């Protein structure tokens, strides 16, 4: 078995060997053109992380960094068996589902005086307390609540032992390198090790570790400890929403066999060939979209609000998927139950 491939290397290798998932060159071009129209707008710049999302912290301090770390430690698997029957969390007059239900529950706990973002709290929090903190307004609870409890205890203990209980200390050990921070996270926190095998190679997606680096960069507004010189080496985050929106936009295609399987709602296990092909081709597809967009910007001499990278494309496409949930109803997302995305 060869050495571990980086997410970008993994994605290219998977795309070259994929049997059931394909990247459509014309679709890539069309998505790049869609994004070109947004290039100078608020969505394709890092500031959107705060201005467009009311649940994200406004501050850029240590508490905000530890909020991001807690959220991304639990940032996985929100899909429900039946979409019309899912976990919902009401907070300050609005109702949130999916990923945002996690953020709403955390902010609700903080408002209730529960120090849920403090490692000394979640290192020893009981499962009953976790069920209470992440309680749903419907009879459908947040998926994998037992795993979330286990991961909270495990992660809190490590943060206390190795980083004096604050993720900011981990960030400061990264010498402002995104790659160094990524590796500090996957080396020290087991639940972030999103690694599997494909065609005899060990491949990595590191979805939660990469989005943690990205959200840390965003919450620190790219300044001070968050001024990562190599932030553009971070790729998109291989979750279950981006593939769905890339298929919807025509940049990604599934074989008939795979599409029928997904339409039947069949689950794909983590690390299975088709699940790896969906995640790897999606990641590579966003890399190609980014290359195409940068070429278009160059040709047009367009001004942008700062460097456009795969993180900003990912954030935009993820938000797009949220805003076009109804339109995307006919396109299935793949159902994998795991702690990695
Ligand atoms: N690729 C990608 N995947 C992302 C995100 C986010 C949240 N980031 C936002 C927060 C601040 C920024 O402004 C981002 O907009 C969550 N997820 C994943 O989606 C899935 C949940 O989906 P649904 O069931 O529809 O809520 C689940 O796997 C979760 O891990 C992202 O940005 N990119």
Cβ neighbours, 10 Å, residue 94: 11
**Probe target for ligand 1 pocket from 7, 69, 136, 241, with the most ligand atoms within 8 Å of CB:** 241
Confidence of residue 251 (pLDDT cuts 50, 70, 90): very high
Q: Which residues contact 201 (CB under 8 A, 6 or more apart)?
A: 1, 2, 5, 10, 13
Residue 1 confidence (pLDDT) above 70: no
What whole-number percentage of the chain has pLDDT above 90? Answer: 94
Please name the residue whose Cα sits nearest to atom 9 of ligand 1. Answer: 315
Residue 306 has pLDDT above 80, yes or no: no
ipTM of the complex: 0.97
Ligand 1 pocket test: which of 318, 326, 335, 341 has the largest number of ligand atoms within 8 Å of its C-beta? 318
**Closest approach atom of ligand 1 to CA 49:** 13
Q: What is the DSSP secondary structure assignment for residue 3, as one 8-state letter?
A: P
Structure tokens at 185: 């996270």
Where residue 83 falls among pLDDT bands split at 50, 70, 90?
confident
Please return the burial class of 19, using the count of CB atoms within 10 Å of its CB with bins 0-12, 13-18 and 19+.
exposed
List the alpha helices (DSSP H) in 90-177. Answer: 98-111, 119-122, 127-133, 145-163, 167-172
Distance separating alpha carbons of residues 242 and 154, to the nearest angstrom: 29
User: What average pLDDT does this structure show over 267-272?
Assistant: 98
Q: Are strands 252-254 and 21-23 parallel, antiparallel or unpaired?
A: antiparallel
Work out the average pLDDT over 3-20: 97
**What residues contact residue 207 under an 8 Å CB cut-off, 6+ apart?**
194, 237, 238, 239, 279, 340, 341
**Who has greater pLDDT, 43 or 220?**
220
Amino acid 42: pLDDT? 84
Cα 300 to chain centroid distance, Å, stands at: 31
pLDDT at 158 exceeding the cut of 60: yes
Residues classed as catalytic: 239
Pairing of strands 201-204, 94-97: unpaired
Residue reference for tokens 């496409």: 317
Residue 279 CA to ligand 1 center (angstroms) comes to: 14
Q: pLDDT per residue over 177-215, tens digit each? A: 999 999 999 999 999 999 999 999 999 999 999 999 999
| Of the candidates 281, 299, 249, the residue with the CA atom closest to the CA atom of residue 20 | 281
Q: How confident is the model at residue 307 (pLDDT cuts 50, 70, 90)?
A: confident
Residue 2 pLDDT exceeds 70: no
| 127 CA from centroid of ligand 1 (Å) | 25
Among 59, 47, 159, which Cα is nearest to 110's?
A: 59
How far is Cα of residue 333 from the mean position of the Cα atoms in its chain? Answer: 15
Band (10; pLDDT cuts 50, 70, 90): very high
Question: Which letter does DSSP use for residue 22 in this model?
Answer: E
Confidence of residue 302 (pLDDT cuts 50, 70, 90): confident
Sign of the C-alpha dihedral computed for residues 81, 142, 53 and 312 taken in this order: negative
For residue 43, what pLDDT is reported? 86
Which sign, positive or negative, has the C-alpha torsion 246, 276, 212, 289?
Answer: negative
pLDDT of residue 193: 98
Residue nearest to atom 25 of ligand 1 (CA): 98
pTM of the model: 0.97
| Mean pLDDT across 79-106 | 96
CA–CA dist 198, 10 (Å, integer): 9
Mean pLDDT in the chain?
96
Measuring CA to CA, how many Å separate 143 from each of 88, 134, 173, 261, 312? 12, 10, 33, 22, 28
Give the mutation target among 99, 104, 311, 329 for probing the ligand 1 site: most ligand atoms within 8 A of CB: 99
pLDDT in tens, 220-231: 999 999 999 999
From the CA of 321, give the closest atom in ligand 1: 25
pLDDT tens-digit readout, 159-182: 999 999 999 999 999 999 999 999
| Ligand 1 centroid, distance to 268 Cα (angstroms) | 20
In the structure, which protein residues have their CB atom closer than 6 angstroms to any atom of ligand 1? 49, 53, 56, 75-76, 78-79, 98-99, 236-237, 239-242, 314-315, 318-319, 341
């Amino acid at each position: 078995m060869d050495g571990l491939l980086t997410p970008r290397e993994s994605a290219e290798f998977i795309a070259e060997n994929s049997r059931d998932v394909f990247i459509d060159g014309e679709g890539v071009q069309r998505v790049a053109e869609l994004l070109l129209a947004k290039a100078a707008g608020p969505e394709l710049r890092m500031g959107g992380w705060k201005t467009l999302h009311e649940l994200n912290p406004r501050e850029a301090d240590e508490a905000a960094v530890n909020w991001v770390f807690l959220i991304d430690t639990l940032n996985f698997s929100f899909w429900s068996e039946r979409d019309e029957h899912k976990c919902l969390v009401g907070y300050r007059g609005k109702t949130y589902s999916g990923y945002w239900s996690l953020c709403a529950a955390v902010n609700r706990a903080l408002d209730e005086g529960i120090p849920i973002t403090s490692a000394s709290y979640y290192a020893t929090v009981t499962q009953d307390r976790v069920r209470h903190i992440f309680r749903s307004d419907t009879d459908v609870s947040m998926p994998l609540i037992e795993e979330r409890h286990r991961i909270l205890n495990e992660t809190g203990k490590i943060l206390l032992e190795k980083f004096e209980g604050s993720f900011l200390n981990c960030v400061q050990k990264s010498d402002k390198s995104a790659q160094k921070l990524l590796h500090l996270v996957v080396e020290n926190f087991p639940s972030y090790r999103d690694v599997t095998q494909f065609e005899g190679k060990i491949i990595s997606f590191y979805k939660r570790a990469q989005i943690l680096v990205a959200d840390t960069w965003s919450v620190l507004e790219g300044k001070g400890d968050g001024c990562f010189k190599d932030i553009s080496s971070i790729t998109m985050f291989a979750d279950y929403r981006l593939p769905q929106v890339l298929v919807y936009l025509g940049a990604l295609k599934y074989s008939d066999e795979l599409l029928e399987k997904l339409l039947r709602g069949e689950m794909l296990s983590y690390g299975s060939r088709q699940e790896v092909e969906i995640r790897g081709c999606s990641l590579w597809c966003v890399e190609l979209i980014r290359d195409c967009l940068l070429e278009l910007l160059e040709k047009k001499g367009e001004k942008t609000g700062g460097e456009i990278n795969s993180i900003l494309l990912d954030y935009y496409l993820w938000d797009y998927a949220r805003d076009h949930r109804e339109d995307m109803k006919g396109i299935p997302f793949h159902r994998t139950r795991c702690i990695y995305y």
